[in-house]
Amino acid sequence: MQLTKRAAAVDRSPMTLGERIYIPAIAKGLKITLGHIFKKKATVSYPEEKRPFSPVFRGLHVLNRDEQGRENCTACGLCALACPAEAITMEAAERKKGEEHLYREEKYAAKYEINMLRCIFCGNCEEACPKDAIYMSETVMPSNYTRDYFIYKKQDMLITDEQLAKRNATGKG
């Protein structure tokens, strides 16, 4: 009984003289090889050339700030709930008197960590954030030999003052 209609009958007739000396097969192989020699290389000479990334590439996480340099994160926890890998942990704290220049709202993330060894770069945290506090940059995750290096703390992910000044000057994020 035949399971599929893709079965083909095998030709068991004896080989001709040309097939026995393999000249046509060798010529066909050389033709393919010569055709590949003159095609454009598929590889990129990495240190000298950088490969362009896709516009939907998701790289390292960045915690965003507003125009005055205050943190956008209000520790609502939606990013941690949306994370399917449970890579995000945070602890909320109340803003103290005199810290209005640091945090936008009364509640802020005192501790914010992402375990990059668990992160699957799905972008759900970015989509779940109502304050646009977290986004995924176009930075490739660097390699390292220690596991502690891959647990990113809040100060590792906060946008720096230089980046904030550059963004405000150019009007881009």
List the binding residues for [4Fe-4S] cluster: 73, 76, 79, 83, 119, 122, 125, 129
Burial call 113-133: b when 16+ CB within 10 Å, e when fewer: bbbbeebebeebbbebbeeeb
Length of the chain, in residues: 173
107-115 vs 61-63, strand pairing mode: unpaired
Query: Which amino acids are annotated as binding site, given as ranges?
Result: 73, 76, 79, 83, 119, 122, 125, 129
Per DSSP, the three-state class of 130 is coil
Separation of alpha carbons 61 and 83, rounded Å: 13
